[in-house]
Structure 1
């Protein structure tokens, strides 16, 4: 009961989340935005497959919300519906080309930033399939202006048992959209890592656009190449109960080792977490780690700017 009372108190005092829409080349894109009055920096968050920006603002659970936690700690959080999701879902075919998705996202991000006070610097955080877009953003020359990068819930190789279980359930790399019933624990991890109301809620689910290649395809083709072109600090997170990707200290170290041009890399094996780190009972702990890393990146930039001005 004390935990639920605290959650109710937090909900009453938490900054408000607003749904925003911008247009790029005449087509709409949507985001959920929550900001401190004078944000220290912006967390630009990209959700994974089969969901929307609501992943970062769990319904009925403000204590699990990256948007609200970030705003309470002095940040702005812009959780964008990736191209082909949210309001742009009817236009999904337009975003089949990765370069168009990248350019559209950068343009949309600028328009969302125009709606915030002070034009603060941007830290990108992404989950699962959203890491494909985040990695392209960071590897692009425009990415050198970003504060840093958090990627989570991805990897280099799928766990073999998971692939066999999904194939047995009728899920293949060629199948898109909502997952068949009974695959949630295979993908999310153990049910006890999530609150019952979150585990059973349908509200975060969304059809995936037909263009969206399964994560294994882009990882095998592009991950190492993109990682070598990232020149900003990187944190890579996996839950200690991750069931989709190979996990553990060796897997974490292998991935961060690919970021050869990054000035600093950090690994985070998040305790008490499955694949969906922002929805589990440990979500707040995970979000505080993300925000702590972002804060380090902000401080580094401030020191660098002072040195340049001296």
Structure 2
């Protein structure tokens, strides 16, 4: 395979016979302390996490940034895509296959954005045989902002403000460069959009790992009323720790904005808290 920057290379995960294209990045000179499964949002690709990968590997973690089922190499095999729960099953199968041949460190830490955060929560709510350390998600809430419900659930159709927030939150050239990240949203994924609140209510009490949820200051897809977010956290009754955080000067696509570095550092700080003590 072609090697990219710092031990980063294209990679293919085997999800029970479904090929999932991915980016695999390993720390240099040592075994990984953990493996981070980075799960992109709706209409994006694994490269959404490009700015996160160097920081994570510099701190000793492996990163698997995956093209979700229905995206990338699996798009032709799954032209309708998969529902969120089915995507979680596929990711569990892929993780199990990967762990059989690679050192994953202390376990797998789930990192999800937007619909990828929904898939991460589904993944955390089911047992796939690979130890999960914790979950960090941004851009995924409990109840939609009422003003967002009349927009199509895609990156187009007039939803630009919802997906990005104020344009000055992003470096010059971001929108031109981001075109390479875009991918059609599979129909099955789009069809589930309005069912998310009920799905979350069903899965939340089955999540048994620490959870951190981050909401951008200019997040427009979700209802950010404190009572709604408190209710979201309260449903995670089996999680040993739940943190709700707000990130100033950020829009929905946090990892593409000026606030990305601050957010990524906070992700990795939370991961440190989820790792077992040395010698445990």
Which TM-score applies when normalising by structure 2?
Answer: 0.88
- Of residues 34, 37, 41, the one that matches 1:48 is 41
Are 1:33 and 2:9 an aligned pair?
A: no
Q: Deviation of residue 95 (structure 1)? A: 5.0
Residue in 1 aligned with 2:56?
Answer: 70
Q: Deviation of residue 296 (structure 1)? A: 0.6
Residue in 1 aligned with 2:234?
Answer: 257
Q: Deviation of residue 221 (structure 1)? A: 1.9
Task: For 1:111 and 1:151, locate their aligned partners in 2 and report how far apart those are by CA, in whole Å.
Answer: 24
Task: For 1:76 and 1:280, locate their aligned partners in 2 and report how far apart those are by CA, in whole Å.
Answer: 23
Are 1:21 and 2:7 an aligned pair?
A: no
Are 1:302 and 2:266 an aligned pair?
A: no
User: Which structure 2 residues correspond to residues 153-232 of structure 1 after superposition, within 5 A?
Assistant: 153-164=139-150, 166=151, 171=152, 179-180=156-157, 183-201=159-177, 202-213=179-190, 216-232=193-209
Q: Deviation of residue 155 (structure 1)? A: 1.2
8 A contact 1:16–1:68 mirrored in 2: no
* Structure with higher helix content: 1
8 A contact 1:47–1:127 mirrored in 2: yes
Q: Deviation of residue 146 (structure 1)? A: 0.7
Aligned-partner SS, 1:237: strand
Unpaired segments ≥5 residues, structure 1:
1-13, 58-64
Larger Rg: 1
My pick for the range that moved more, 97-106 or 227-236, is 97-106
Residue in 2 aligned with 1:104?
Answer: 90
- Of residues 222, 234, 244, the one that matches 2:211 is 234
Q: Deviation of residue 23 (structure 1)? A: 2.9
Q: Deviation of residue 199 (structure 1)? A: 2.5
8 A contact 2:83–2:192 mirrored in 1: no
8 A contact 1:236–1:252 mirrored in 2: no
Unpaired segments ≥5 residues, structure 2:
none
| Root-mean-square deviation (Å) | 2.3
User: Which structure 2 residues correspond to residues 113-128 of structure 1 after superposition, within 5 A?
Assistant: 113-114=99-100, 116-117=102-103, 119-128=105-114
Q: Does the C-alpha gap of structure 1 residues 183 and 137 become closer, same or farther in structure 2, counting only changes over 3 Å?
A: closer
8 A contact 1:144–1:231 mirrored in 2: no
Q: How many residues align?
A: 273
Task: For 1:253 and 1:214, locate their aligned partners in 2 and report how far apart those are by CA, in whole Å.
Answer: 27
